[in-house]
Amino acid sequence: MTILNNMFKSLMALCLVAGMASCDKNEIYLGGADTGILNSPDGNVVYVTDGGGRGETGFVEFSDSYVLSLYLRSSKDVSGTVSATFTYDKAVLDAYNAGSGTEVPLFPEKYVSLADGGKTAIAEGSLSSAPLNVTFTSDSSLDPETTYAVPLRVNAENAQMAGGSDGYIILVRDVTSFPGAEKYYDGKPGMKIIGVLEVNDVNPLNTMGFTMKRSGKQFFDIVVLFAANINFNQQTGRVYVSRNENVQALLDQREKYLRPLQDRGMKVVLGILGNHDQSGVSTLSDATAKAFAQEVKNICDTYELDGIFLDDEYTDYGAAASGSYPGFVEQSYEAASRLGYEIRKAQPSRLLISYRYQALFQGVEIDGMNCGEIWDYVVNDYWVTSDPTTTYPGLRQDQAGTGSWNCSDWSQCIPANKSWTERFSLTGMREEGFGTMMIYNFTCNPDYWMTPYIVRDMGTTANDFWGDELLYDNSWYPKDY
């Protein structure tokens, strides 16, 4: 298992399919194309890629089911029709394991289906076939932390395979059996925990160590990477998402640090707040907000993030209001809501969370869309006991959060502090219909003096919110990025 897990970690950092980053071809060889043959003028030479044009090997990670599209391609227009048949063939994996000294296990053939009997073709004068869909299904019996292989044999007619190899391997992880994070109370969806991590100090993998005893579910539902920034480039006149070296390292190495959280059912969300210039969550003109929302979408698309957490702080509000810079307005509730609206329009299926502070304390209707449609969740600042639904018209109670913790300060932190319990009640939040609670600056470093109190109160939260017992595996992932 250790060998396989280590192999998986290295492959995950290198190989991705269906929107993931491409492999580093120098790290692993699985029957790759010989470019000399590809460029040969004699005869038809074909090879296999996924939909993104990536070849040599594929990688699929799925829950329940997944469809991967493969293509037969040529580097030049083929002469005559080139047809090929893909078949599941264990001998392809046997040869690979023998040649590379690995022991990658076989993904069961009964869970793999090849459309059209595995047949595809490149028409004369074309460079590519139509997609051949490979469907993967699950019965939840496979180890979700093991990488398996689907070995395919490619039998081509009227062509030779590039590199002389007719084998193609798809690496597969079936994460269906992970219990997920969706928790319940009395048969109804339970409150959700938003963990905000200062990633300059805390490795997000540390959120994985907290699970429920009875259900096996993760304690955290949403993990916020805190934080990227909104900044203004005076040379280009563009407002953009800036990321320090720690945030960028996590995004660049998402297979190591972020995908394991998503595998286990947690949503990974990027925090965005001001950064000491005039650009901020609440200072963009309508046109600037729309352009910035597209920038945000591009970041989420590129790094497969589940959403955005907006925080209105650390902006030079005076500069924005001065009129010296086009594209900016005086800080306002309307500008903050406008940005949320544009982000929601740009990516309606992703999460959008408002930290109810400064101009985000109140939401307003934008272009006929009320706040309940713009935001998925609105969470209170520390000590704020008012109900977010009172300043966010249309927001449902189960979208509102109160009782936020600040794990960096005992005086304004956790239920272990009497000042907290005088203001909030965990069972009261649940009974009043609140849907979420934020834990800011979460950490569980064993050397941190507050860790025992934080873990204890997480256990109390698990019992009061979901009637379950917290399990903590006592693991600690250091900041190694």
Whether 465 maps to a domain, the answer reads: yes
- The answer to whether residues 188 and 161 belong to one domain is no
Q: Is 358 left (phi over 0), alpha (psi -120 to 50) or beta?
A: left
Bridge partners, residue 229, by sequence: 242, 273
Name the DSSP class of 276: S
Q: Residue 416 — very low, low, confident or very high, per pLDDT cuts 50/70/90?
A: confident
Quick one: pLDDT at residue 42?
A: 65
Quick one: pLDDT at residue 68?
A: 95
Whether 13 maps to a domain, the answer reads: no
Whole-number Å distance between alpha carbons of 13 and 15: 6
Quick one: pLDDT at residue 37?
A: 43
Whole-number Å distance between alpha carbons of 361 and 332: 10
Quick one: pLDDT at residue 3?
A: 35
Average pLDDT taken over every residue of the chain: 90
Whether 84 maps to a domain, the answer reads: yes
- Of the three residues 130, 146, 174, the one that is the final residue of a domain is 174
Whole-number Å distance between alpha carbons of 374 and 160: 54
- The answer to whether residues 57 and 161 belong to one domain is yes
Whether 16 maps to a domain, the answer reads: no
- The answer to whether residues 201 and 161 belong to one domain is no
Whole-number Å distance between alpha carbons of 403 and 83: 63
Quick one: pLDDT at residue 32?
A: 40
- The answer to whether residues 204 and 321 belong to one domain is yes
Residue closest to 309 by CA, chosen among 362, 353, 340, 249: 353
- The answer to whether residues 96 and 227 belong to one domain is no
The arithmetic mean of pLDDT across residues 213-218, rounded, is: 96
Quick one: pLDDT at residue 51?
A: 81
**Virtual CA dihedral for 204, 208, 212, 217, nearest 10 degrees?**
100
DSSP 174-189: E-TTS--S--EETTEE
Mark whether 145 is an active-site residue: no
Residue 120 CA to chain centroid, in angstroms? 33
pLDDT over threshold 70, residue 313: yes
* Residue 225: C-alpha distances to residues 89, 143, 195, 305, 381 (Å): 43, 28, 9, 10, 17
Q: How many Cα neighbours within 13 Å face the side chain of 298?
A: 9
pLDDT over threshold 90, residue 54: no
Per-residue model confidence as pLDDT tens digits over 422-458: 999 999 999 999 999 999 999 999 999 999 999 999 9
Quick one: pLDDT at residue 31?
A: 37
Contact of 469 with 213, CB cutoff 8 Å: yes
- Of the three residues 152, 174, 196, the one that is the final residue of a domain is 174
Whether 477 maps to a domain, the answer reads: no
- Of the three residues 174, 198, 213, the one that is the final residue of a domain is 174
Residue closest to 59 by CA, chosen among 20, 89, 1: 20
Residue closest to 437 by CA, chosen among 445, 427, 446: 427
Whole-number Å distance between alpha carbons of 96 and 89: 12
- The answer to whether residues 260 and 323 belong to one domain is yes
User: CATH number for the domain including 340?
Assistant: 3.20.20.80
Task: Exactly one of 313, 330, 365, 373 is catalytic; name it.
Answer: 313
- The answer to whether residues 205 and 91 belong to one domain is no
Q: How many domains does the chain have?
A: 2
Whether 120 maps to a domain, the answer reads: yes
Contact of 150 with 172, CB cutoff 8 Å: yes
Q: Residue 9 — very low, low, confident or very high, per pLDDT cuts 50/70/90?
A: very low
Contact of 158 with 121, CB cutoff 8 Å: no
Q: What is the domain range of residue 98?
A: 2-8+21-174
Name the DSSP class of 381: P
Which residue shows structure tokens 């005088």? Answer: 422
Q: Residue 29 — very low, low, confident or very high, per pLDDT cuts 50/70/90?
A: very low
Whether 211 maps to a domain, the answer reads: yes
Whether 104 maps to a domain, the answer reads: yes
Contact of 414 with 420, CB cutoff 8 Å: yes
Whole-number Å distance between alpha carbons of 83 and 225: 48
Quick one: pLDDT at residue 412?
A: 63
Q: Residue 409 — very low, low, confident or very high, per pLDDT cuts 50/70/90?
A: confident
Tell me the three state secondary structure of residue 341: helix
- The answer to whether residues 145 and 210 belong to one domain is no
- The answer to whether residues 78 and 129 belong to one domain is yes
- The answer to whether residues 189 and 49 belong to one domain is no
Whole-number Å distance between alpha carbons of 273 and 227: 7
- The answer to whether residues 163 and 188 belong to one domain is no
The pTM score is 0.81
User: CATH number for the domain including 135?
Assistant: 2.60.40.1740
- The answer to whether residues 102 and 218 belong to one domain is no
